[in-house]
Amino acid sequence: MMVRKLCIVFLAFYFSSTYAQGEPFQAPSYTINLDLRPEDRWVEVTSKYAKYSPQIVAFIRQKLPADLVPLVEKVAMYMDEYFPAPFPAEMKGVSKGFNLSLADTILINIMYDLTAFCTSIVAQDKQGNIFHGRNLDYSFSEILRNVTFISKFQSKGQVTYTGVTLAGQVGLLTAQLRNAFTVSIDERDKGFLWQNIFQALIEKALPITFLIRTVVSTPGVNFDHAVKVLSQMPLIADCYLIIGGVHAGQGAVITRNRQSAADVWLLSNDTSKNPWFLVETNYDHWTTPPPSDDRRDPAIKALNKVSQKKLSAETMFNVMSEHPVLNNETVYTTIMQAKNPEVFNTWIRRP
């Protein structure tokens, strides 16, 4: 345990010390106090990142079809009916802190979980220890590198769950519930983007990031329960949900349609047998990724080179740093291990 902690400290020190040379650097961290009123929980964050909100909104609005704006503005008027607590109140607090309309704040929250191209890996070593790595890629990565931070959700002085957040977002794309499970989301490109948004708003489906935060904040939830809920809840769009647990075999990639799971792919319960790792990018695992965007095969090659015997937080980071798993649009890399929650860390990438 002491050796593992020293390795994590070394990684954090090394990358933060070489930031000036263009290397990965430690993401900042903020505490989200769940004992505060929902409207007040993000005040520190919004005061820090308010200067970036016009850039984010401008990027989103230039991608919008004209027909969508009135619909989002209508949703903003009835936000408490469209989204479960605490999300409406928290988004109102974000809107105030960023000096944005509620419609723009809603757009920030539903856009983040619809347009990301990512790589997520869940793997187990010979002892059945589960490691989870994820790279988040975005087309406007330079802006998002400036607004990415670790969010530690705290109640009664204790951290209850942890995530990686993009400023203005109140849901989670990457999250860890200590001693239970880790989870990340990859986009599944099915249907038209705006068709997904229209249908979600009309049918009051739940944004994916809201569902992730809801699950990690549920008392007593474990890996099996998380897989069940994440397989069944109606969502705003198709996606891949990658989950890691605390025991051997507790790793899954859920391929989601909007209404339910199309497939659930699991690690082997036997650590001496395959699959000892699952690699998900943005394509169904039973299909072949296009040659123009094949991050899957390089990741698999890197994992086989590391070997199950030498799998660790450090070697998982190395795998996530292999080209093109790491590419010019990569915003951050997160390494997680629910069994050893102190492993959780995030680095901003500047490839």
Residues with active-site annotation: 118
- Classified as helix, coil or strand, 102 is helix
Which whole-number Å values give the CA distances from 328 to 192, 262, 321, in the listed order?
Answer: 25, 31, 12
Contacts of 269 (CB under 8 A, 6+ apart): 248, 249
DSSP label of 205: P
DSSP symbols for 289-318: PPGGG--HHHHHHHHHHH-GGG--HHHHHH
In this structure, are residues 324 and 298 in contact, taking their beta carbons and an 8 Å threshold? yes
Q: From residue 65, how far is each of 78, 117, 322 by CA, in Å?
A: 21, 22, 37
How far, rounded to the nearest angstrom, does the alpha carbon of residue 282 sit from its chain's CA centroid?
14
Report residue 315 as tokens.
Answer: 């070697």
Q: What angle do CA 4, 27, 107 make, to 5 degrees?
A: 130
Token output for 157: 């002085």
Structure tokens at 104: 């723009």
| 348 Rama sector, left if φ>0, alpha if ψ -120 to 50, beta otherwise | beta
Q: Alpha carbon of 111 to those of 45, 114, 208, 264, 291: distances in Å?
A: 19, 5, 10, 25, 27
